[in-house]
Amino acid sequence: MKEKFIQLLEEIKKDLIFIANEVEHNIRQAIKALEKRDIKLAEQVIAHDENIDRMEVQIEENFLSLLALQQPVAIDLRFIVGGLKMNNDLERIGDHAVNIARTVLDIKERPLPDSIKKIPTMKNLACSMLHDIVSAFIHQDAEQAREVCAKDNSVDRLYDEIVKDTIEQVKNDQSLLEQGFAIARVARSLERVGDLATNIGEDVVFMKDAKIIRHRFEK
Amino acid sequence: MIETESGVFLEKTKKDEILTPETKIDKSVKPVLAMSNEKIVIETKTLDFYYNADAHALKNINIHIPDKKVTAFIGPSGCGKSTLLRCFNRMNDLISDAFHTGEILINGVDIYKEGTRLEDLRKQVGMVFQKSNPFPMSIWENVAFGPKVNGINDKDELNEIVESALKQGDLWREVKDRMQNSALDLSGGQQQRLCIARALANKPEIILMDEPASALDPISTGKIEETIEELKKNYTIVIVTHNMQQAARISDYTAFMMLGELIEVDLTKKIFTNPTQKLTEDYITGRFG
């Protein structure tokens, strides 16, 4: 019976890795759609989010079955509690890909403030956090998870810079007002991706070390 | 393998098969609880117990069991948990060839001290067994038996003791109108609660329970667990259980034993969420055993 339980845990782990890859891919595609003003790609991103939502629900149901039927304790219990939160955070990252894609549909071909040039850098940083945190999850590496969490400050700084630059540019050219808001929204979504990757990092530390490091309670 | 009264005792060689390099016991972590703010009722010091010269069942057990708490012992069959439980009221004295070294203290007094009366010890330390064992007599007689043996003959006083014990054992409401019926007519769960009441009638300080609910259905088990929850307000309870969910539900502290050694003792919440020893984690998550 225990072997079956361990096998089920492994399957859920694979599902989480799969949904994480899908979410990261959708964020990258959403930014690509923004850069190329590719309406069709933006629509694909929005459509694909439904698959991600379905996967999230399926993973949650599988976790609930494990809780109800196997009564896990210790490291298994922490994996399930942390995994449930991670699943939820991944789905929310998926929603941010949709937000970005919707922005692409809103702004169409209209000119954008120069601050957009920093968006790919921010995307790379946020996506690398997401990628690395999934790696930390796969290897249950709490140290790597902590390192990824520490990178969130860089994403936050970039967000502040983009907002500041956008405001300056909109002040100089008020015809960019609406598009300026759009860029700020995209930057905000990427900043949230960094936050949610950090949450997942905290979940990985909890799974591995049984330590709750969010809210900086950990001494 | 050596068969003993309390189960199968594993030979020493088996240990190396079970303990992989990853699950070796971290000796830097002492299994004894540091419970400075709690009164200690039972204490063992470097306790070793042998069923005979070749069967070393308990190895260097050092444990503190606190007052008015439920302490659960878990571990695979033959790990020594029932043997340890039986040490606390000298039940193992009944086994010929068995002997021990080290000390077992109750309220700071060595229970093997010269002049210790076994009757007094077993009155102080009551015991409930895996299989309910009511005497073939009436419900009332079962509960009154101990006090009568201890010299109480006044009928009113006995009635009072019986009622109080049955109420504490959560059986009074079910049997108060048929006290003269045979105890053997009760259901399995009721018989076990009768045995708890019988132990309580002697006004013990400590109650030892060896798998008290393992032969019961979930509803009867639930009643026993509720009874234990109530009893810990007034008694120190030590329970041996194979049911880890039960240990998690009812105990304040959990001790994990394996191959005669005490591996880890801690708050139950800690043991079941984040045990210190890898061996404990592997056992409670079912990765061996």
pLDDT digits (tens, 9 = 90+) for B199-251: 999 999 999 999 999 888 889 899 899 999 999 999 999 999 999 999 999 99
- Best A1, A3, A73, A208 residue to mutate vs chain B (most B CBs within 10 Å): A73
Residue of B nearest to A210 (CA): B274
Q: What is each CA distance from A184 to A113, A205, B203, in whole angstroms? A: 10, 32, 74
- Residue found by looking up tokens 């950090």 in the block: A198
Section B89-93 average pLDDT: 94
pLDDT digits (tens, 9 = 90+) for B246-286: 999 999 999 999 999 999 999 999 999 999 999 999 999 98
User: Using CB atoms, which residue from B248, B273, B287 is nearest to A210?
Assistant: B273
Instruction: Tell me the percentage of chain B whose pLDDT exceeds 90.
Output: 78
With CB atoms and an 8 Å threshold, state whether A74 touches B275.
yes
- Supply the pLDDT for residue B9: 40
Neighboring chain B residues of A1 at a CB cutoff of 8 Å: 286
Rounded-to-integer distance, Cα A138 and Cα A14, Å: 9
Q: How far is A134 from chain B (nearest CA, A)?
A: 23
Which pairing describes strands B7-9 and B40-52: parallel, antiparallel, or unpaired?
unpaired
Neighboring chain A residues of B248 at a CB cutoff of 8 Å: 73
- Supply the pLDDT for residue A70: 86
With CB atoms and an 8 Å threshold, state whether A74 touches B286.
no
User: In this model, does residue A217 exceed pLDDT 60?
Assistant: no
Q: How far is A87 from chain B (nearest CA, A)?
A: 21
- Best A7, A75, A77, A79 residue to mutate vs chain B (most B CBs within 10 Å): A75
Q: Mean pLDDT for chain A?
A: 94
Higher pLDDT, B180 or B216: B180
Closest CA to A63 of A81, A78, A75, A88: A81
Asked whether the beta carbons of B197 and B212 are under 8 A apart, the reply is: no
- Supply the pLDDT for residue B217: 87
Confidence of residue B194 (pLDDT cuts 50, 70, 90): very high
Confidence of residue A137 (pLDDT cuts 50, 70, 90): very high
Instruction: Tell me the percentage of chain B whose pLDDT exceeds 70.
Output: 87
Numbered residues of chain A with Cβ closer than 8 Å to any chain B Cβ: 1-2, 5-6, 71-78, 210
Q: How far is B281 from chain A (nearest CA, A)?
A: 7
- Supply the pLDDT for residue B273: 92
pLDDT digits (tens, 9 = 90+) for B26-66: 666 665 554 557 899 999 999 999 999 999 999 999 999 99
Residue of B nearest to A208 (CA): B274
User: Using CB atoms, which residue from B244, B273, B286 is nearest to A77?
Assistant: B273
- Supply the pLDDT for residue B32: 54
- Residue found by looking up tokens 């169409």 in the block: A108
Torsion-angle region of B97 (φ positive above 0: left; ψ -120 to 50: alpha; else: beta): left
pLDDT digits (tens, 9 = 90+) for A168-210: 999 999 999 999 999 999 999 999 999 999 999 999 999 999 8
User: In this model, does residue A160 exceed pLDDT 70?
Assistant: yes
User: In this model, does residue A145 exceed pLDDT 70?
Assistant: yes
Q: Mean pLDDT for chain B?
A: 88
With CB atoms and an 8 Å threshold, state whether B285 touches A74.
yes
- Supply the pLDDT for residue B38: 87
User: In this model, does residue A4 exceed pLDDT 90?
Assistant: no
Least confident of A2-16, A92-106, B103-117, B261-275: A2-16
Asked whether the beta carbons of B61 and B84 are under 8 A apart, the reply is: yes
Q: How far is A88 from chain B (nearest CA, A)?
A: 22
Provide the H-helix boundaries in chain A.
2-36, 39-70, 74-107, 119-139, 142-150, 152-172, 177-209
With CB atoms and an 8 Å threshold, state whether B245 touches A210.
no
- Supply the pLDDT for residue B10: 40
Count of H-run helices and E-run strands, chain B: 11, 12
Neighboring chain A residues of B271 at a CB cutoff of 8 Å: 74
With CB atoms and an 8 Å threshold, state whether A73 touches B274.
no
For residue A27, give its domain range.
2-216
Instruction: Tell me the percentage of chain A whose pLDDT exceeds 70.
Output: 98
Task: Count residue pairs from A and B with Cβ separation < 8 A.
Answer: 31
Q: How far is B18 from chain A (nearest CA, A)?
A: 17
Q: Count structural domains, chain A.
A: 1
User: In this model, does residue B6 exceed pLDDT 80?
Assistant: no
Q: Cβ neighbours of residue B235 under 8 Å, at least 6 residues apart?
A: B68, B200, B204, B205, B206, B207
CATH of the domain at A203: 1.20.58.220
Which pairing describes strands B253-258 and B70-74: parallel, antiparallel, or unpaired?
parallel
- Supply the pLDDT for residue B287: 83
Rounded-to-integer distance, Cα A49 and Cα A60, Å: 16
Whole-prediction pTM: 0.80
Neighboring chain B residues of A75 at a CB cutoff of 8 Å: 281, 285
Q: How far is B272 from chain A (nearest CA, A)?
A: 5
Give the dihedral sign, CA B214/B218/B219/B221: positive
Q: How far is A112 from chain B (nearest CA, A)?
A: 52
- Residue found by looking up tokens 């859920």 in the block: A12
Neighboring chain A residues of B268 at a CB cutoff of 8 Å: none
